[in-house]
Amino acid sequence: MNVKPLIAPPLDAGFLPAALFNRNYVQTAKASGKAVPLVIGLERENGLLSRHETVVLPEAGADTLRYVERVVKFLLWSRGGWKLRLGGPKELGRTIQRSFAADGPRAFDTDLMARVYERPFEVVLTGTDAVPPEREMSASLGGHLVGCRIGFDLGASDYKVAAVREGEAVYSEEFPWNPRDQPDPDYHYGHINAGLKKAAAHLPRVEAIGGSSAGVIVDNKIMVASLFRAVPLAQFDRARNIFLRLRDEWRVPLEVANDGDVTALAGAMSLKANGMLGVAMGSSEAAGYLDPKGRMTGWLSELAFAPVDYNPNAAADEWSGDRGVGALYFSQQAVDKLLPAAGIAVPREMGLPGRLKEVQSLMARGDARAARIYETIGVYLGYTIALYADFYEFRHMLILGRVTTGQGGDIVLARAREVLKEEFPEVMEKIQLHVPDEKSRRVGQAVAAASLPALKS
């Protein structure tokens, strides 16, 4: 299918936006008069089930296979699940079944889902009427501001802590660390605890602790996290229970949530609005979602692994091995990916945070090469907002993270709005884009995280 964006990213001529491909495919299928229904069901913990309905052409051609495989993958990482039910053409279903098998090209995805839900991943082929009805969870999230609290936010290159008293931050600080290369869980525990102690010194007492961390967190346990990728599986139980150990040591209510969910919470708290999708562009892409009633859905929203670019030659993610996924478009990794095309050379040994700082420094000096990097990310974002709008119901989108700081962030938002205006005016009318002020950009996550636990009655 020949799909050309009206606005091309200046440093990525091959960009094939998922939103355009998906919409054009469905329109083409319907116009052909041959379209048949496809129902996708994803079952999670406790019998929860997300359901997505679409149409496909009955022949399993290249465009159909690309469309369905990419949509299934997007749903897998946005919703989560250990059982995939496909109601539709059997030949198409069998191809997807092979792709998401333990030895298939999507083995990374199925293995991660099996670890998250502690059950073997399976694909069940069925008729459209046999896919069960949707069953979703809704729960309130955070917003507790009373008392003396500590909040923390764990990133790949630094972690932030904040001391919060009656909803106001009285202390905040960032500390460098290198968790991704550390195999000893005590390294992580010691660094987090040291930060908590520094924050506690600015409070008369500590009544609750809330945290924000990349990865999949269930009941305060880390099920999967790139921050702990160096920890051997034999020792991962010690890493998994780090937050429980901290709770036992501090003897106060402690709650930790995925950093994307805390991003959404921070946006909802600052804007006093619900229907919020939050996206943080840091060491990776983090996302979180509050529905129009201000409740959590229980979805994973691990959009760093969700496909946004269908270009078969797009850069491959180093962890999953897949191409065109969000982490390489909305993070420090995106900036690094675009450096060669921008003509910016950096020392090979320079880490991602240093590379971003170099681009930010060039941007502050008016370097056009740096500006093109931000323009490219902004075009990516505009097309991807339309994609997210096809799978999430939201009226507000909060954009934050290190990549969005400074003048470059203004360019990102301006280009994203330009794409929406030209390609997706109906999305532009419905969704408002927001950025926090400079102070909130850096510590907003930690402050919002501090509000997660309710105080003991």
Q: What pLDDT does residue 237 have?
A: 84
Q: Which helix (H) or strand (E) holds 207?
A: none
Average pLDDT over the chain reads: 92
For 148-261+446-450, CATH number? 3.30.420.40
> If you classify domain 268-440 with CATH, what class do you get?
alpha beta
CA distance 124 to 103: 17
Write out the two tokens for 3: 């799909």
Q: Per residue in 399-427, pLDDT tens? A: 988 899 899 999 999 999 999 999 999 99
Q: Which amino acid is at 423?
A: E
CA distance 207 to 169: 15
315 closest CA partner among 286, 339, 297 = 339
Write out the two tokens for 82: 């250990």
Please calculate the CA angle 220-437-402 and round it to the nearest 5 degrees. Answer: 60
- Phi/psi for 381 (5° steps) reads -65, -45
CATH 3.30.420.40 domain extents, the chain: 148-261+446-450, 268-440
DSSP reduced 3-state for 149? strand
* 8 Å CB contact between 90 and 128: no
* Cβ neighbours for 16, distance < 8 A, ≥ 6 positions apart: 3, 5, 309, 310, 311, 314, 324
Interstrand relation of 83-87 and 122-126 (parallel, antiparallel or unpaired): parallel
Residue 442: pLDDT band by 50, 70, 90 thresholds? very low
Residue 209: pLDDT band by 50, 70, 90 thresholds? very high
Query: Is residue 30 predicted with pLDDT exceeding 90?
Result: yes
Average pLDDT rounded to a whole number, residues 134-144: 78
Q: What pLDDT does residue 437 have?
A: 62
Name 122's bridge partners: 83
CA distance 92 to 125: 10
